[in-house]
Amino acid sequence: MDKKGPAKGVEMSDLTVWNNAAIGIKEDTVVWLGSTEEASILEATQTIDAKGRLVTPGLVEPHTHLVFGGSREREMALKQQGVPYLEILKQGGGILSTVRATRATSYGDLLEKALFHLDRMATYGITTVEAKSGYGLDRETELKQLRVAKEANEKHPLDIVSTFLGAHAIPPEYKENPEAFLNEMVEILDEIKQEELAEFVDIFTETGVFSVPESRRYLMKAKEKGFGLKIHADEIDPLGGTELAVELGAVSGDHLAVASDEGIEKLANSDTIGVILPGTSFYLGKEDYGRAREMIDAGAAIAISTDFNPGSSVTENLQLIMSIAALKLKLSPEEIWHAVTVNAAYAIGRGDVAGTIAVGRKADIVLWDAPNYLYIPYHYGVNHTNTVIKNGKVIYERPAIR
Ligand code: IZC
Ligand code: ZN
């Protein structure tokens, strides 16, 4: 894919595949692309043999709640009894349980935990990852989470793109007054900007959380302050968050499982990318996995993601999500590869640096124990990576047992 911009609609079926390809890397950058035969002209100091293996761009993970304290395994039994996700939240569990844990966890422990999850993402072939705050819901803890993400970006080989999700739930102290809570979150935006702690601002637009008018007012203030916009939209109830994402020119509208016909039409005619999170449909036991197929057929650009978080999708395994996208969203392998590389990169404002192998770009490359690109969604639930290269350095190799 040499053209600029995300792949939209039918373009998502047009995957560039080279056989017998070779890649020349100098320091951290791709400097040469050609055939294996031509590669003999390169005076390489190190050669990695990819014979028989699929080689792709490093995966881009466009939606995670990376930094959090604690875990919520005890809520699994409630889910099995049929207690809905939003009901658990209403009773003070769910996101609010992670908020209590995150407030109580030290900066150093949060950093260690985030680095641990990043390590695991790297083993699965992810080389760039978006990370949201949103488990503080107060100035101090939100800034703590964002600073953890910033330090993790400096310490870890993976690149992190940071999003401020202070508007993730209404904390108990503001239960009767969501507008006052949103005003408090607006008040910390200048600090976030000054410290360069986040590029994007996100909100959870959902029944019992924030309404569409509240979300619009909040996001417009964030836009005025120079932030890019994202929205958790139309995940559980169809409130019209997809339309709002397009109206405000958000870089992405995320979830969109229950988007309306009008929302899909608007998305298809916009630059907003639909980030679809089928792992949450799976994990929350939904029958209906959403409308990604119709979105692509209408001409929209789609990315897919784990939504890695401690409540509604507890996995770092983006390869598993690729299988769910094939089986439940009925996306083709070609569409799925676009959705985890080039389109995912555009969904986090990194379309010009990540998601594609091209001369002049950073060498973020994965060698897979797979004969072709069809194989990864097909053989599900396991890790297929053989070698993961980030900025020209091997950061993971499948350990040898024999
Ligand atoms: O912790 O439950 N949907 N936010 C909106 C989430 C899921 C994360 C969580
Ligand atoms: Zn999310």
Q: What is the mean pLDDT of residues 195-203?
A: 98
**Amino acid letter for position 232:** H
Q: What is the mean pLDDT of residues 278-287?
A: 95
Mean pLDDT, the chain, rounded, equals 97
pLDDT value of residue 83: 95
- How sure is the predictor about 296, in pLDDT bands with cuts at 50, 70 and 90? very high
- Which-ligand-closest: CA of 254? 2
Q: What is the mean pLDDT of residues 113-128?
A: 98
Ligand 1 centroid, distance to 381 Cα (angstroms):
22
CA distance 129 to 167: 20
- How sure is the predictor about 35, in pLDDT bands with cuts at 50, 70 and 90? very high
pLDDT value of residue 4: 83
CA distance 120 to 126: 9
Residue 2 pLDDT more than 80?
no
Q: What is the mean pLDDT of residues 256-276?
A: 98
Residue 7 pLDDT more than 70?
yes
Spatial CB neighbours of 89, under 8 Å, sequence gap ≥ 6: 95, 96, 169, 208, 209
Residue 62 pLDDT more than 70?
yes
Answer whether 0.85 is exceeded by the pTM. yes
Q: What residues does ligand 1 touch, defined as CB less than 6 Å away?
A: 65, 94-95, 98, 204, 232, 309-312
pLDDT value of residue 3: 61
User: Which of 99, 307, 308, 313 to mutate for ligand 1's pocket (most ligand atoms within 8 Å of CB)?
Assistant: 307
- How sure is the predictor about 223, in pLDDT bands with cuts at 50, 70 and 90? very high
Query: Tens digits of per-residue pLDDT, 133-158?
Result: 999 999 999 999 999 999 999 999 99
Q: What is the mean pLDDT of residues 27-43?
A: 94
Spatial CB neighbours of 133, under 8 Å, sequence gap ≥ 6: 67, 142, 145, 146, 149, 162, 163, 164, 165, 166, 168, 198
Longest CA span, the chain: 70
User: Which of 73, 88, 95 to mutate for ligand 1's pocket (most ligand atoms within 8 Å of CB)?
Assistant: 95
Helix (H) or strand (E) holding 22: strand 21-26
Q: What is the mean pLDDT of residues 190-202?
A: 98
